[in-house]
Amino acid sequence: MRPQALFPLFAPTTSLPGVGPRIAALLEHIAGPKVVDLLWHLPTGLIDRRFAPKIAEAPEGSMATLRVSVERHHPPPPNRPRLPYKVRCSDETGTIDLVFFNARADYLKKSLPVGEVRLVSGKVEDFNGQPQMTHPDYVVAVEDAESLPRLEPVYGLTAGLTLKVLGKIMGAALARVPALAEWLDPAGVAREGWPSWREAVLALHRPEDHADLAPDRAPRRRLAYDELLASQVALALVRAHHRSLPGQPSGGDGALRAKALAALPYSLTSSQRDAVKDIAVDMAKGERMLRLLQGDVGSGKTVVAFLAMLIAVESGRQAALMAPTEILARQHMATIAPLAEALGLKLAVLTGRDKGKGRRAMIEGLARGDIPLAIGTHALFQEDVEFRDLALAVIDEQHRFGVHERLMLTAKGKGVDVLVMTATPIPRTLQLAAYGDMDVSRLTEKPAGRKPIDTRTIPIDRLEEVTAAVARALERGAKIYWVCPLVEESEAVDLAAATERHAALARRFGERVGLVHGRMKGTAKDAVMAGFAEGGIDILVATTVIEVGVDVPAATVMVVEQAERFGLAQLHQLRGRIGRSDKPSTCLLVYRGPLGETARSRLSILRETDDGFRIAEEDLRLRGSGEVLGTRQSGFPDFRLADLGRHGDLLAPARDDARLLLERDPSLATERGQAIRTLLYLFERDVAIRYLRSG
Ligand code: ADP
Ligand code: MG
């Protein structure tokens, strides 16, 4: 149960005065639906209204709060309503005009009555020697001076939400911030000179000068640390839970592996060999394996996975490989099926599309145990799928699956070992954030014989050159990917762009042009992919459905349209589809100028390198961690306050802190443990608390 002290923060924003459904929708857009979401919506700037000079002493361009008498109103002449409405004001040193465009005269007469004294705050301008202030931010009577903020934090806004309105709402939200028991080690807090959580939140929302907005200030670092600690404790709890369930050692005599290696037309790279060794050692242990296999696209993860699966089979047990999409599942199957056949092993394939009799036979085979290997999608953990003795679950492209789904598959066996594969090169800092203390094997080399990819950037107005290059490549017998951009707002628009490009290319190159996109039926998609891999399709126009995993070694040219719309990591993934054979490959990044600074750097990094880890680091630098990990669907932790580009140094201490904490107090029962529970709730990592009880 969520601690009572947090109730006011986890109430909807509509529980705040002045917030109805309309405003709540705007708040949800910028921050979220709950009061606590507002606390994490930090100011991005500061308006300082403390400067209160006399009119004559207010320099042009300064932000000033003036105490003035209202002298006279000058509405625009009736025949020229577009001219501004001016109100002449004065103090003992001079005069200033308050200037209003499209003014409502009655409103101005009321707020600026002639003969009265008012405080006005805004930017001082000069109009032909006459001081003026256009649309003052504040006009208040002297007795209401309190309502004029001296220091006004600036927040990210959205259409329909003004700073003034948000400022008031923020005030109400901040008034609810409770004092919570300290969850950090007091010695550490003292050493860093950090404020308490409550003081930190208040300080961040009430900056006193611009320096207070910097991410390296104590209150911000404190909150970043809190968030990282919450996430590390949560990861550690999940991991401890995983570890606490007894494993079953899978030894294996190596016979099948030896046969498989002999059947491969190539020899393993040394990092592939190391990875297989790591996995074998893990699987032979009584503890459950939880290992990440990280390798750039094309680094050869599938064969490593297959060898790991053979370890399970050698010990008389079963193994399953789960991929996030149908295409990927079939792709793995294409690699694995011939090898399995060479070894005389049966292979079940279960995707959303496999129905009826064939499916039933496979399910029965898995339940009886005479099918030792399974490949599939989410369909693998449907209720009626049972294994006689599942020893190993390999999960590909893990970031698309949630922790929950991972657990579902491992629940299909007892003490199931888990191997997670990801092609997303994750900078080391982020790896810790995303996976905590998972054991990692990295495939750092490309298989031998690969040629580097020649990457070029070309503006869209030179598309004709691109088509000509494509024509030449076709003559050489190349296969070509032509990727159309994914414009997030509308899938229909993306599709239209891809369809149009397909038509244009088909007019020129005829039947050799195929089209594949996300909305196609599985079988239709497979037919096109097969046509591209082995048949008469030489140019494959695609939306980003080909992003991950697809393996057609004969493809040596890739055109990416509107490359500037893609993220760096995404472009790298795409490009990884080519350069998979011993023939040289070319990647043409077609962009629509003019390019912004970031887009330009992104494209030039791709021209410079195809080292996925370097690209990932650059991506982090260019975008900040938020975007790299970004989208909620990615399953990566979503940090609200911690910016790993800036606070990455806090990650390792947070991990150590979490580890120590759970060593001393594994059930979070002590006073500090209780405070840590509050922290987990505060940062919505409380699903992990479940594992305290069941573990
Ligand atoms: P990943 O899944 O890591 O992107 P794949 O497992 O799909 O990479 O492998 C890409 C291609 O490289 C496949 O065609 C595979 O058969 C081949 N391959 C894998 N390992 C090697 C190796 N050691 N030497 C040569 N080719 C390899
Ligand atoms: Mg793959």
The vertex-682 CA angle with 680 and 687, nearest 5°, equals 40
- Based on its alpha-carbon atoms, the radius of gyration of the chain, rounded to whole angstroms, reads 31
Q: Which of 196-200, 318-322, 423-427, 498-502 has the lowest mean pLDDT?
A: 423-427
State the pLDDT confidence band at 626, using cuts at 50, 70 and 90: very low
Q: Mean pLDDT across the stretch 469-494?
A: 80
Residue 331 in contact with ligand 1 by CB distance below 6 A: no
Residue 291 in contact with ligand 1 by CB distance below 6 A: no
Q: Which of 70-74, 526-530, 635-639 has the lowest mean pLDDT?
A: 635-639
- Residue of minimum CA distance from atom 25 in ligand 1: 447
- For the cut 90, the answer to whether the pLDDT of residue 534 exceeds it is no
Q: Report which residue type is found at 404.
A: H
- For the cut 70, the answer to whether the pLDDT of residue 695 exceeds it is no
Residue 302 in contact with ligand 1 by CB distance below 6 A: yes
Please state, in angstroms and rounded to a whole number, the distance separating the CA atoms of residues 437 and 226. Answer: 18
For residue 307, report the distance from its CA to the centre of ligand 2, in Å.
Answer: 14
- Residue of minimum CA distance from atom 22 in ligand 1: 447
**pLDDT number for residue 629:** 40
Q: What is the pLDDT of residues 41-62, one digit of tens each?
A: 999 999 999 999 999 999 999 9
- Residue of minimum CA distance from atom 13 in ligand 1: 300
- Residue of minimum CA distance from atom 17 in ligand 1: 300
3-class DSSP state for residue 106? Answer: helix
Parallel, antiparallel, or unpaired: how do β-strands 138-141 and 117-123 relate?
antiparallel
State the pLDDT confidence band at 658, using cuts at 50, 70 and 90: very high
Please state, in angstroms and rounded to a whole number, the distance separating the CA atoms of residues 103 and 512. Answer: 65
> pTM of this prediction?
0.67
- Residue of minimum CA distance from atom 12 in ligand 1: 300
Any idea which ligand is nearest the CA of 582?
A: 1
Any idea which ligand is nearest the CA of 297?
A: 1
Average pLDDT, the chain: 87
Residue 540 in contact with ligand 1 by CB distance below 6 A: no
**pLDDT number for residue 566:** 80
Q: Mean pLDDT across the stretch 481-506?
A: 78
CA proximity to 420, closest of 243, 246, 295: 295
Residue 579 in contact with ligand 1 by CB distance below 6 A: no
Q: Mean pLDDT across the stretch 643-672?
A: 89
Q: What is the pLDDT of residues 305-355, one digit of tens each?
A: 999 999 999 999 999 999 887 878 888 888 899 999 999 999 999 988 777
**pLDDT number for residue 340:** 96
State the pLDDT confidence band at 155, using cuts at 50, 70 and 90: very high
Residue 300 in contact with ligand 1 by CB distance below 6 A: yes
Highest-scoring range by mean pLDDT, 295-304, 527-536, 674-683:
674-683
Q: Which residue has the higher pLDDT, 358 or 321?
A: 321
Residue 514 pairs in a beta bridge with 540
pLDDT more than 70, % of the chain: 91
Residue 301 in contact with ligand 1 by CB distance below 6 A: yes
**Which of ligand 1's atoms lies nearest the C-alpha of 449?**
25
For residue 554, report the distance from its CA to the centre of ligand 1, in Å.
Answer: 13
3-class DSSP state for residue 676? Answer: helix
* The two three-digit tokens of residue 197, written as one number: 């959580």
- For the cut 80, the answer to whether the pLDDT of residue 284 exceeds it is yes
**pLDDT number for residue 628:** 43
Whether 576 and 547 have beta carbons less than 8 Å apart is answered as no
**pLDDT number for residue 351:** 87
Residue 608 CB neighbours (<10 A): 12
Q: What is the pLDDT of residues 59-116, one digit of tens each?
A: 999 999 999 999 999 999 989 988 999 999 999 999 999 999 988 999 999 999 999 9
State the pLDDT confidence band at 631, using cuts at 50, 70 and 90: very low
- For the cut 90, the answer to whether the pLDDT of residue 271 exceeds it is yes
Any idea which ligand is nearest the CA of 325?
A: 2
Residue 553 in contact with ligand 1 by CB distance below 6 A: yes
Q: Mean pLDDT across the stretch 545-552?
A: 61
**pLDDT number for residue 586:** 95
Cβ burial 97-131 (10 Å sphere, 16+ → b, else e):
bbbbeebeeeebeeebeeeeebbbbbbbbeeeeeb
Q: Which residue has the higher pLDDT, 342 or 523?
A: 342
Any idea which ligand is nearest the CA of 298?
A: 1
Residue 422 in contact with ligand 1 by CB distance below 6 A: no
